[in-house]
Amino acid sequence: MKYTTPAGDTVIDRQRVVGQPTTRIDGPLKVTGHAPYAYERHDVAANQAYGYIVPSAIAKGRVRSIDLAEAKAQPGVITILTTTEVDELPLGMGHTVPLFGGSEIRFYHQALALVVAETFEQARAAAKLVRVDYERTQGNHDFHALAPDAPLVEGSDGPDVSKVGDFEAAYASAPVSIDVTYETPHESHAMMEPHASIAAWEGEKLTLWTSNQMIAWSKQAVAKMLDLDPANVRLDSPFLGGGFGAKLFVRVDAVVAALAAKKAGRPVKVMLDRPLVFNNTTHRSATIQRLRFGAERDGRLTAISHECTSGNLAGQEGENGIAQTRLLYAGANRYTAQRIARLDLPEANAMRAPGETAGLMALEGAMDELAEKLGMDPVELRIVNDTQVDPETPNRPYSSRMMVECLRRGAEAFGWDKRNKTPGGMREGRWLIGHGMAVGFRNSVQMKSAARVRLSSNGKLTVETDMTDIGTGSYTILAQTAAEMLGLPLEDVTVTLGDSDMPASCGSGGQWGAQNSTSGVYAACVKLREDIAGRFAMDPNTAEFIDGEIRAGAESRKLTEATASGEIVAEDSVEYDELSKKYQQSTFAGHFVEIAVDAYTGETYVRRMLAACAAGRILNPISARSQVIGAMTMGVGGALTEELAVDTRFGFFVNHDLAGYEVPVHADIPHQEVIFLDELDAIASPMKAKGVGELGLCGVGAAVANALYNATGVRVREYPLTLDKYLDKLPAV
Amino acid sequence: MKPFSYERVSSPAEAAAAAARAGGAKFIAGGTNLLDLMKLEIETPRHLVDVTGTGLDEITETDEGGLRIGALVSNTALASDERVKRDYAVLSRAIVAGASGQLRNKATTGGNLLQRTRCPYFYDTNQACNKRKPGRGCAAKEGVSRQLGIVGVSDACIATYPGDMAVALRVLDAVVETVKADGTTRAIPLGDFHRLWGDTPHIETVLEPGEMITAVTLPKPLGGTHIYHKVRDRRSYAFALVSVAAVLDADGHGRVAIGGIAPRPWRVEAADAALPDVKVAARALTQGASPTDQNAFKIALVERTLAGVMAKARGEAA
Ligand SMILES: Cc1cc2nc3c(=O)[nH]c(=O)nc-3n(C[C@H](O)[C@H](O)[C@H](O)COP(=O)(O)OP(=O)(O)OC[C@H]3O[C@@H](n4cnc5c(N)ncnc54)[C@H](O)[C@@H]3O)c2cc1C
Ligand code: SF4
């Protein structure tokens, strides 16, 4: 299905199944421990051996030699794969540096060898006895030292700078202006399930049972890295214990498992040790962001500048903190630019809402500062600067933009009018109470997505696609879509995911999963409906599929009549072209937060938070809410505690476990409320849905920081907002 | 994990003898700290003596009107004991401020006292650490040190004793009872139990090799208001930046011990004497501090946390 013009009325609009609150169909599997996660797939291949990675102890340099004598002699050891025995692997999709091979060391905990043994414990014990002789070189590990001289990011058409109007002149003449700099730290995805893979060969054919968000990309990447015909590569990843972007691209577990399985002549499984999740895989880069605004006294922005510097290994982009600033607010004179410091740290890459998460932590903090300077309600300042078109390209309207409605609904539900209006002015016992808000913004992305549906002779439907469910609820919304389209009860639909032998979907990432993968299933179901209607000489456009029957006028036939002679299979995809060029497609939220700060110790706790979201059709209010509250939780972590602490001498993230990298615990997360606005966006997708999985994170950090200011009168522009950064500025006790 | 042998014993004397018999032996109780460190090969005992069957899992009343807590009493059982909640509430509160419910179910009184530091460089075996490998240097001192100690630390090591329970025990003047391999027993006041690092940060307590903790005793109840305030970055499952254990009168006199700043729960006579003057007490507690740039905030935090505790003791609104 080519989606070139916005859909009119569709079957989905009935919302008998789609849009209804539906608990996860894979829930029972998960809570009973039967969902097959990669490392625990003991049944898929016999005789699995255990691999354990020997990670580099230095961040930069070379391997001179590797002494395996002692390790090889350990009980249970089958084989040892070393980095020096293979050439540097080619880069797979999304990679900045090779995952394995060669003698060059580019980051701490780079995999240098894999010990394969009969048991996990044997492999780990022997791995400790692999002796690596290093040649160490001094790297550039200090982002703050490099940032001032960081060059502009080179995009495909030159440096990433955008100018509209005359920023400098407008800024200089603006009656009200601010110039502030915010900093965000390196952050880790820190998902529950570490990267893991089991590899098995049958001749030239490789199967990887793995944990991966993007099956079609990753299949190609594995083929490229290992020089295989893609037809000989199969990935299977039906369940993931989270990813947040860390599993968009193949990581080292998959390739060393594959190489070692070949060497050992039997299947090999590898899971990354928790410290390797922090240092061997990817993270969100730190940023330093300077914002300058010029405004009229009524709050209208006349000059907007946002410059963001982030860091990465040479060859890769950084954290694009300016992306949303090009789109979010009106203003005639604009300047945005991105710089990148070349850092010898582990590879920075996409983490949930890459760009906007860090960008809004700065932009929306700066907006709060401007509101204060103007003496304006921060909600009103945003509303005054609303735009219904792309402000850099005004002939590109938004497909649908409900920022103002999100703010008004959110403010009302939160009781924003009863907020503390004087910074430091509201106290309950020892607690300073503060309120803050921010806009949430994240684009909705159109991606090709294919699916196959099979209606079997017993009238049950199977959906097949390589789409992944990373905890988001894909299984359920795809089943809902198919059930709606074919008029079947949800129980009659089975969804199989994550297998690269199935039609290639959009995968899970960039909050593009839900609307595109359901649209792919929708497209396949349209075909299936046509096939069935054709068998009864009915018009597929007017026939109704309901209660396991197809009806047209007075005529009604059972679907099982259509499949009497065998199952019916239909396959199709959704594909897009011009709609995203013609229309800016984005999702919006109003985030509102109340915090309490201990006036003595500075401890900060979120007391309640609310998000009012507009993200097109909400396919399943239960799983969509789960996505948003999970994202809000992540936002609290980013605001208050999460930071990869860098040892700038030795070039590594020091707090490389879940005790040291502090994500929120239950006790940190108070009352959360989510409101979804009614919105159908027929431009965004045939389902009239947009993404929602990342929206809930975007803006939360700034809302918390603004609330901290409101509570204490202390503006902290350096995340995370740990108490050491403001303790000395709190009133004396 | 290095291969090791394992045996179960059924009495403290047997345990001490078993540990003496086998070279490189360690006791294992809940295992919540020891096993983690063994997996990383930071601890590499050749023999484990499992002491969970020694019958030391009771809390009994002493002739002096206090309590004797068996070394194997779990953190959960201790924190929820009615006598402890009533007469030694600071202890109960300190315990539940630590770790998680699951860990506290496994963790024991003896093991908790002996939990090792949480310095991140101690945990990363690629890094220089005098505590792990004496004489190799200390990577933390000029590295990431926000969590680490400010008083009682040394050139060789700036780590902290990370636990909560012991801070409360310190303020209660608890005494540790032990048995040695030769069967002799001794009683060590908690204030003398943990050593300052000095030049030998790998030696953390005054226990001799093979000496087993059998019990911790509490003197008779002190009365007063019992408070434990643990300041940390998140609300649970995190070690203290600073913690204060306090037993105070209504007029603010009493005693305090501080966690998260030193190689042992930090109690200073002059500070107790200065109470209720928080400023003077805090100054006494942080006297001679040698913080890093990253953890200098702990000096102010000690004073402010103490002030908050004092306010609470005086009944100011929570
Ligand atoms: C994730 C995590 C978070 C935590 N958070 C906190 C926290 O916030 N606050 C806190 O205070 N603690 C915390 N802890 C530490 C926890 O309290 C300790 O691990 C626990 O108390 C140790 O008790 P155990 O019985 O398991 O000791 P083990 O692990 O069995 O033993 C620890 C040490 O004590 C020795 N030992 C044990 N019993 C005896 C004995 N009777 N005589 C002599 N030697 C003995 C062992 O040989 C070993 O060296 C945390 C632990 C983890 C894993
Ligand atoms: S502070 Fe102590 S524990 Fe930490 S690295 Fe230094 S010597 Fe080791």
* Cβ neighbours of residue A14 closer than 8 Å, sequence gap 6 or more: A484
pLDDT at B23: 84
Test mutation, B36, B297, B298, B306, chain A, max A CBs within 10 A:
B297
Residue A397 CB coordination number (10 Å): 16
Please report the beta strands in A4-160, taking only residues with DSSP state E, as ranges in sequence order.
Answer: 49-55, 61-67, 77-82, 104-105, 111-117, 131-136, 154-155, 158-159
Structure tokens at A728: 């000395």
CA distance A334 to A19: 40
Rounded to the nearest integer, the mean pLDDT of chain A is 97
Residue in chain A nearest B244 by alpha carbon: A601
pLDDT single digits (tens) A317-374? 899 999 999 999 999 999 999 999 999 999 999 999 999 999 999 999 999 999 999 9
Residue in chain B nearest A108 by alpha carbon: B126
CA distance A355 to A335: 17
- Confirm if B201 and B132 have CB atoms less than 8 A apart: no
Query: ipTM for the complex?
Result: 0.97
pLDDT at A314: 84
CA distance A454 to B146: 58
Residue A628 has pLDDT above 80, yes or no: yes
Q: Using a CB-CB distance cutoff of 8 angstroms, which residues of chain A are in contact with residue B142?
A: 649
- Give chain A's domains with CATH numbers: 2-35+446-581 (3.30.365.10), 394-442+585-729 (3.30.365.10)
pLDDT at B316: 82
Q: Which of A592, A604, A628 lies closest to A702 in space, CA to CA?
A: A592
pLDDT tier at A654, thresholds 50, 70, 90: very high
**Which ligand 1 atom lies nearest to the CA of residue B32?**
26
Asked whether the beta carbons of residue B144 and residue A647 sit closer than 8 angstroms, the reply is yes
- Confirm if A264 and A78 have CB atoms less than 8 A apart: yes
- Name the residue type at position A700: V
DSSP string, chain B: ----EEEE-SSHHHHHHHHHHSTTEEEESS-TTHHHHHHTTSS--SEEEE-TTSS---EEE-TTSSEEEETT-BHHHHHH-HHHHHH-HHHHHHHHTSS-HHHHHH-BHHHHHTPPP--HHHH-TTS--TTTSTTS--SSTTS--TTS-SSS--SS-------SHHHHHHHTT-EEEEE-TTS-EEEEEHHHHBPP-TT-TT--BSPPTT-EEEEEEE-S---SEEEEEEE-SSSSSS--SEEEEEEE-TTS-EEEEEESSSSS-B--HHHHHHTT-HHHHHHHHTTT----TTTTHHHHHHHHHHHHHHHHHTT---
pLDDT single digits (tens) A530-562? 999 999 999 998 999 999 999 999 999 999 999
pLDDT at B82: 98
What share of chain B has pLDDT > 90, as a percent?
95
pLDDT single digits (tens) A199-245? 999 999 999 999 999 999 999 999 999 999 999 999 999 999 999 99
pLDDT single digits (tens) B188-237? 999 999 999 999 999 999 999 999 999 999 999 999 999 999 999 999 99
Task: Go through A608-640 and write b for each residue having 16 or more CB atoms within 10 A of its CB, e for each that does not.
Answer: ebbbbbbbbbbbbeebbbbbbbbbbbbbbbbbb
Residue B317 has pLDDT above 70, yes or no: no
pLDDT single digits (tens) A5-59? 999 999 999 999 999 999 999 999 999 999 999 999 999 999 999 999 999 999 9
The stretch A623-648 carries a mean pLDDT of: 98
CA distance B148 to B141: 9
Residue B318 has pLDDT above 70, yes or no: no
pLDDT single digits (tens) B132-155? 999 999 999 999 999 999 999 999
Asked whether the beta carbons of residue B233 and residue A722 sit closer than 8 angstroms, the reply is yes
Q: Using a CB-CB distance cutoff of 8 angstroms, which residues of chain B are in contact with residue A641?
A: 233-234
Residue A428 has pLDDT above 70, yes or no: yes
Angle between helices A474-486 and A513-535 (to 10 degrees): 30
> What's chain A's Rg over C-alpha atoms?
27
- Confirm if B161 and B265 have CB atoms less than 8 A apart: yes
How far is ligand 1, taken at its centre, from the CA of residue A5, in Å?
A: 64
- Confirm if A453 and A520 have CB atoms less than 8 A apart: no
Judge whether A428 is closer than 8 Å to chain B, CB to CB: yes
CA distance B224 to A386: 59
Nearest residue, CB atoms, A600 vs list B121, B233, B304? B304
CA distance A189 to A352: 8
Residue in chain A nearest B278 by alpha carbon: A733
| A694 in active site | yes
Gap from A61 CA to chain B (nearest CA, Å): 15
Q: Which of A3, A65, A24 lies closest to A480 in space, CA to CA?
A: A24
H-assigned helices in A336-389? 356-374, 378-384
CA distance A440 to A614: 10
pLDDT at B2: 84
pLDDT tier at A315, thresholds 50, 70, 90: confident
**Ligand 1 probe mutation, B54, B114, B178, most atoms within 8 A of CB:** B114
Percent of chain A as helix, strand, coil, to the nearest 5: 30, 30, 45
The stretch A101-124 carries a mean pLDDT of: 98
Q: Counting beta carbons within 10 angstroms of the beta carbon of residue A715, is it exposed (0 to 12), middle (13 to 18) or buried (19 or more)?
A: middle
Cβ of B127 below 6 Å from ligand 1: no
